[in-house]
Structure 1
Amino acid sequence: MKNDKEEPSSSAEQVRTFNSNKAKQAIDLISAVKELHGFSSQELNKLLKDTENFIIQCHTEKGSPIKIDMEKVASFLPLHLIAVLISSDRDEELFRYILRGIRLMYSLCDLAPRHVKLEQILLDDVKVSEQLLDLVFYMLIVLGRCSQEYHNSNTILLMHSTLVACSLYLLTGCLSSQWQDLVQVLLAHPKVDIFMDTAFGAVHMIVMFLQMKLSDQLTDEQVVNYICQQCEASLQFLQSLCQQKNFRERLLRNKVFELEFFSYR
């Protein structure tokens, strides 16, 4: 079994370049995430239909006009979110921002079949597809390493459980909604073993937090219910993957290898 601390490297060098050469672009992406994450797919679709040159015109919370190049957002958002993950502290602000970014990313993937430009970028561009996969892998690695100190913050626990589910289901948006096809893509990825470790590890972290909340006499029932819902969604995703024979066999083979390795040691 590969070490779960190993991280996808295909986007790492690109992130360094992104950080050094794309400062203004990063600012534009931050504005895009902040202003567009709350729009549904239908609302974004309407905005895109009314655009010229795929540039959305809207207003900030303070009422200032802003123009957002959606072609650039679709092209660079996955790498931008990876860069934020790498360079930021693991705190409430980071989780909130990444959650907004993933929601926007999912909406764009959902709209891709209806807009040629989005389809060319998100579904046909191999580089962007690889970055989307790396984003999910990085996100699950981060979520699987969260400190138990987060148990003291209901807000972080809620965002953590939501991020795990959203990260997993982003795969159905950017790769395929058909489980058989999704599994084939994952198994063909050179770091599928990392995905298996981190996906199950991140969901296990939710279960641990949930157990701690249930044992806490001062637990907020609404918080527990919400975490349960997100945990159930994540578990259903993993169950759907495991219902595919080739994924299940790969997972079991890895576990056998892991047991043999530690027995040998």
Structure 2
Amino acid sequence: MIAKEEPSGSGKQASSNHLNTLNLMPAVKELHRLNSQDLCRLLKDAGNFSIHYRTGKGVLLEIDMDKLARSLPLHLTTTLIYSSRDEVVFRYVLCGIRLLHSLCDLSPRLPKFDQIFLHDVKVVEQMIDLVFYMLIILSTYRQEDNAFKFKLLSHSALVACSLHLLTGFISPQFQDIANVLLAHPKVDLFMDVAFGSVRVVVRCLEITLIACYKDFSMESNLLSEQVVYFLCQQCEASLQFIQSLCQQKLFKERLLNNKVFQTRLL
């Protein structure tokens, strides 16, 4: 993608950028701000499934949404594998996962996305790999007794968004999700890292609540409340997902027979 920025105050039209080389980062950084309804409106006005989107800096992006949807899961996984996994990277991956949520939401309204996310075996496998790999990383996250760090917020959001991504491209029904996971050769690994990552989220919330209890200063009270509220939301979303999975009989039986999981509980 080649971008040209309009000079400030200039009436000249910005050059468009075509997603020929599939440089996804500009598209992810811009489109994650849009919900599925906004994206749907852009696509209805677009020809050949390419949208034109002008950034706040005056850059006009031409984005092939078919290529974006098919390439984004592998792109995010590759970013995680070959990056330093710092806060900037996690923030970017979170933007990408949120964009995937919006694209999956479009599936019932746009047959092309339905074909990509529900029926393209390669893309579905890459989506599952993304969720699994993300949870592996998040489950090994080392908590620090320092509250109000952005990484606590990004970690909690990534866990919830990664888990709930399964409802987007598999099914909103947890029985269907359980069946797909049970058929996966690494289902026991999923159980281990899913519970491990949620356990870390609970610990992040605990660290923040302890810090709030120790600091009652009026100056930081509003910020503290906002952080705690956000962490509670993400923690609840993750726990509800795990609970819904465990209510599926076959999944619960497999979980109880998971020796690695049993060892971690001891």
TM-score by length of 2: 0.84
Counterpart of 1:246 in structure 2 is 250
Give the 4+ runs in structure 1 shifted more than 4 A: 256-259
User: What is the alpha-carbon distance in structure 1 between the residues aligned to residue 55 and residue 92 of structure 2?
Assistant: 16
1:235 to 228, 234, 239: 239
Per-residue CA deviation, residues 84-118 of structure 1 (Å, 9 max, x unaligned), is 11111222111111111001101111101221221
- What are the residue-to-residue correspondences of 1:107-186 with 2, within 5 Å? 107-149=102-144, 151=146, 153-186=148-181
Counterpart of 1:105 in structure 2 is 100
The question of whether the paired residues in 1 share the 8 Å contact of 2:145 and 2:207 is answered with no
- What are the residue-to-residue correspondences of 1:204-243 with 2, within 5 Å? 204-216=199-211, 217-218=214-215, 220-243=224-247
Aligned to 2:107, what secondary structure does the other structure show? helix
Aligned to 2:62, what secondary structure does the other structure show? strand
The question of whether the paired residues in 2 share the 8 Å contact of 1:112 and 1:119 is answered with yes
- Root mean square deviation, CA, Å: 2.2
Q: Aligned pair count?
A: 239
Unaligned runs of 5+ in 1: 1-21
**Structure 1 residues 148 and 249, CA gap change in structure 2 (3 angstroms):** same
**Structure 1 residues 141 and 50, CA gap change in structure 2 (3 angstroms):** same
* Residue 56 of structure 1 pairs with residue 56 of structure 2: no
CA positional deviation for 1:60: 2.1
Instruction: Write the letter of the residue equivalent to 2:165.
Output: L
CA positional deviation for 1:152: 5.0
The question of whether the paired residues in 2 share the 8 Å contact of 1:157 and 1:209 is answered with yes
Select the structure with the greater relative contact order (CA < 8 A; seq sep ≥ 6): 1
Instruction: Write the letter of the residue equivalent to 1:238.
Output: I
The question of whether the paired residues in 2 share the 8 Å contact of 1:33 and 1:100 is answered with yes
Aligned to 2:58, what secondary structure does the other structure show? coil
- What are the residue-to-residue correspondences of 1:69-88 with 2, within 5 Å? 69-88=64-83
Aligned to 1:95, what secondary structure does the other structure show? helix
- What are the residue-to-residue correspondences of 1:16-31 with 2, within 5 Å? 24-25=21-22, 27=23, 29-31=24-26
Structure number having the greater helix percentage: 1
Counterpart of 1:8 in structure 2 is none
User: What is the alpha-carbon distance in structure 2 between the residues aligned to residue 257 and residue 171 of structure 1?
Assistant: 21
User: What is the alpha-carbon distance in structure 2 between the residues aligned to residue 247 and residue 103 of structure 1?
Assistant: 27
Identity %: 58
User: What is the alpha-carbon distance in structure 1 between the residues aligned to residue 65 and residue 145 of structure 2?
Assistant: 35
User: What is the alpha-carbon distance in structure 2 between the residues aligned to residue 92 and residue 190 of structure 1?
Assistant: 31
Aligned to 1:66, what secondary structure does the other structure show? strand
User: What is the alpha-carbon distance in structure 1 between the residues aligned to residue 260 and residue 131 of structure 2?
Assistant: 25
Counterpart of 2:12 in structure 1 is none
Per-residue CA deviation, residues 176-195 of structure 1 (Å, 9 max, x unaligned), is 00111111011001111111
Unaligned runs of 5+ in 2: 1-18
Per-residue CA deviation, residues 149-181 of structure 1 (Å, 9 max, x unaligned), is 484552211111111111000000010001111
Moved more, 45-54 or 148-157: 148-157
Moved more, 221-230 or 239-248: 221-230
2:186 to 188, 191, 197: 191
Instruction: Write the letter of the residue equivalent to 1:33.
Output: V
Per-residue CA deviation, residues 29-86 of structure 1 (Å, 9 max, x unaligned), is 1111011001111111111111101000011221011100000001100000001111
The question of whether the paired residues in 2 share the 8 Å contact of 1:165 and 1:234 is answered with yes
The question of whether the paired residues in 1 share the 8 Å contact of 2:101 and 2:165 is answered with yes
